[in-house]
Amino acid sequence: MSDGLTPEQVERVVAIAMDLAREGRTEELAEFVDHGFPVNTTDEAGNTPLMLAAYHGHAETVRALLDRKADPDLRNDRDQSPIAGALFKGEEAVVKLLREAGADLDAGTPSARAAAAMFGRENLLAD
């Protein structure tokens, strides 16, 4: 992604993209990705835009990122997956989208299955 950018500029672009994901600003984030921002870029904690959008319950943003080939199974530096984060927060629509995208329910710490059990949200994983 450096294409002539300084390391500081790259860091700033990544921070902006992560803020867009965190805030659910779907159109702006999609434009970033459509113009070459790598969809699976990570921040300093290993979070992808998908992780942040999922954790903050932005289903529309999650869908846009998945449509742009975001990997639903990339875990952050704490070994947390996007679907486990969505389960922790009780984000039913996000969990559904990630399941449809083939998210691994057994990956990460805790896994999505374990997170669902811990927080009494097993119903979100029921078929």
Domains and CATH numbers, the chain: 7-125 (1.25.40.20)
The token duo for 87 is 């389960």
Query: 100: left (phi > 0), else alpha (psi -120 to 50), else beta?
Result: alpha
pLDDT values of the chain reduced to their tens digit, one per residue, 127 residues: 656 889 899 999 999 999 999 999 999 999 999 999 999 999 999 999 999 999 999 999 999 999 999 999 999 999 999 999 999 999 999 999 999 999 999 999 999 999 999 999 999 998 7
Residue 20 burial by Cβ neighbours in a 10 Å radius (0-12, 13-18, 19+): buried
Predicted model pTM: 0.94
The CA distance from 88 to 81, in Å, is 11
CB contact burial 93-121 (16+ within 10 A = b; e otherwise): ebbebbbebebebebbebbbbebbeeeeb
